[in-house]
Amino acid sequence: MRRVSALLGGVCVATMAWTGCGSGTGLSPDAMPAGTCGADVPAGQACNNLVNSAAAVTPTCTTGILPAGQGGSIVSGTYHFTAQTYYNVSSCPTTGVAETLVLAGGCLQVVSGEPLAATASATYVVQGNQLTMTTTCVDTGGLSGMLDTPTKTFTATSTTLTIFTLNSAVGNANPDRVEVFTKS
């Protein structure tokens, strides 16, 4: 089974993967790391210069119905990937993946470590418990993959963002999964 990156959803942002509707002490849009959520990043250039400071996470697998997110206020800031659960897959990947993401002002930037080293940027909007992302830049170092569904559900607290990706409902071969990101 191919390892699916959290927000990079099989190597491309679709995760997480996310209006700056959060409260608290997050980053302002002017404080975002170099990179962009615009569509003007030259081909072959990294989408951002984030440093991946997350520890690798090895997924768990389960059967049953993927739960839906409950919504909440997404707090701007830096998050680290801390848990991933696949639903209804024949085998569970054993290779861990580390991801760091920054959310602010309707812009999501992510960096993923080996074995799926990549950077990506996306704009995001929130409506109720739905999070819809529009990919603006992906640099996968030549890897290819299938995009996740762009609309996911989520649950946000002051310290976590949990993303629920239901790909099977739209005929997408990427696994259904739940991913947790913890604010640093």
Q: In CATH, what number does 29-183 get? A: 2.40.160
Please tell me the pTM assigned to this model.
Answer: 0.81
Lookup result for tokens 């830049």: 137
Residue 44: band (very low, low, confident or very high) from pLDDT cuts 50, 70, 90 = low
Q: How many helices (H) and strands (E) does the chain have?
A: 0, 9
The residue with greater pLDDT, 17 or 23, is: 17
User: pLDDT > 90: what percent of the chain?
Assistant: 46
Range list of H helices, the chain: none
Q: Calculate mean pLDDT across residues 68-86.
A: 96
Render pLDDT for 93-118 as a digit per residue (tens, 0 to 9).
888 989 999 999 889 999 998 777 88
Which residue ranges make up each domain of the chain? Answer: 29-183
**Residue 31: phi, psi to the nearest 5?**
-100, 5
Give pLDDT, residue 21.
Answer: 20
SS3 15: coil
Buried b (16+ CB within 10 A) or exposed e, 150-179: bebbbbbeeebbbbbbbbeeeebebbbbbb
Per DSSP (E only), the strands in the chain are 60-62, 77-87, 99-104, 107-112, 118-127, 130-139, 151-156, 160-165, 176-183
pLDDT (0 to 100) of residue 69: 97
The reported pLDDT for the residue numbered 163 is 96
